[in-house]
Amino acid sequence: MAFDVFLQHLTNGISLGSLYALVAIGYTMVYGILRLINFAHGDIFMMATYFTFYSIVIFGVPWYAAFLAVIVVTGALGVILEASAYRPLRDAPRISIMISAIGASFLLENLAIVIFGGRPKAFPALDFFTEVIKLGTVSIQRLTFIIPVMTLVLLYVLLYLINNTKSGMAMRAVSKDFETSRLMGIDVNRTISVTFFLGSMLAAVGGIMWGMKFPQIQPLMGVMPGVKCFIAAVIGGIGNIQGAVLGGFILGLVEILLIAFLPDLTGYRDAFAFILLIIVLLFRPTGIMGEKIAEKV
């Protein structure tokens, strides 16, 4: 394989990995605080692409304004989801909350089919992002550079929020111990809402970028990326934000490079992430950067 083709695949893998990372952060934050797989996260991601599509194509909002509005609206959607589907079950057995999460995911998907229609739609192409840059023999869309850079910037902003603000401190406390932090006067419900808001905003950014990278959107588009991003979060060590980003990069890179080197396995592309998940769960259940948790009796 020629070196420039390899570089092409590498940049592709990095930008796909950054998209996975953005969505994986949402999974890992929610899991860290509620110990819940937010099955509906992938569908929030899907909703964000549809919101963008409608605001740009139907309402003709300029893209930068549309992006901002979509990110805020999607964050609000995450907060509503938490308040309606998860908050009433705060003291319920884990399995009930999981089933509620699956139900919420299906509800969002089916609502999207009813409201937006089941037929795929074409995401608007924005010249600023899709312009092709030539670097020597490699030609790459500008988007391919923007995505990883933005992921890293957002990661640092998020880490700053978590480590240096009061809400961030509350989030860390709640994820360590629910009851104790309540006793310390932390508004647990508000903290969880903030977590969902931040996670869903990142999912919205991921969704917008995904729409520009793979410009065909349909109501079930969130399912596979959703599951894969959860896998990325598990690989990196669930509950750990840097871990989720690392897991996303690993998953994206390995997926693209595997297909590049072994084209025969293209049909098995989606199976690959699951195999990686099972291997990680068997040999290092807490992921690469996760802490060991001892079960208390």
Partner 1 sequence: MNNNTQKQSPLIRLDWIKERNPKLTIISLLLLGIFLYIADNRFDAYQVRVLNLCAIYTVLGLSMNLINGFTGLFSLGHAGFMAIGAYTCALLTMPVAVKDQNFFLEPINEVLRTIVLPYPAALLVGGIFAALMAFLIGAPVLRLKGDYLGIATLGFAEIIRIVITNLQTITNGALGLKSIPAKTNLWWSYGIAVFTTVFLVWLINSSYGRAFKAIREDEIAAEAMGINLFKHKVLSFVIGAFFAGVGGGLLGNLLGAINPLLFRFTLTFNILLIIVLGGMGSITGTIISAFIVTIGQEALRFLDQPFSLGFIQVPGISGLRMVVFSALLMLVVLFFRRGLMGTNEFSWDSFIGFFKNLGKGPGKPLSKGGTES
Out of 2, 282, 293, 294, name the contact with partner 1 by CB under 8 A.
282
Q: Which residues pair with 122 in a beta bridge?
A: 216
Identify the H or E element spanning 140: strand 138-141
**24 lies in the binding site for partner 1 (CB under 8 A):** no
How many C-beta atoms surround the C-beta of residue 133 within 10 A? 12
Min dist. Cβ of residue 100 to partner 1 (A): 5
Out of 99, 126, 140, 260, name the contact with partner 1 by CB under 8 A.
99
Provide φ and ψ at 291, rounded to 5°. Answer: -90, 155
User: Residue 239 and residue 234: Cα distance in Å, rounded?
Assistant: 9
How far from 179 is each of 159, 192, 193, CA to CA, in Å?
A: 24, 14, 17
How many amino acids of this chain bind partner 1 (CB under 8 A)?
Answer: 42
Q: Which is nearer to partner 1, 161 or 223 (CB)?
A: 223
**262 lies in the binding site for partner 1 (CB under 8 A):** no
Measured in residues, the chain has a length of 297
Min dist. Cβ of residue 243 to partner 1 (A): 15
Q: Which two tokens stand for residue 232?
A: 């990325």
Q: Which is nearer to partner 1, 17 or 42 (CB)?
A: 42
How many C-beta atoms surround the C-beta of residue 242 within 10 A? 16
Q: Which is nearer to partner 1, 88 or 157 (CB)?
A: 88
Residue with tokens 């997926």: 255
**254 lies in the binding site for partner 1 (CB under 8 A):** no
Out of 30, 85, 170, 256, name the contact with partner 1 by CB under 8 A.
85
Q: Which two tokens stand for residue 175?
A: 């994820």
Q: What is the binding site for partner 1 (CB under 8 A)?
A: 36-37, 85, 88-89, 92, 94-96, 98-100, 102-104, 106-107, 109-111, 113-114, 118, 223, 227, 230-231, 234, 267-268, 270-271, 273-275, 277-278, 281-282, 285, 295, 297
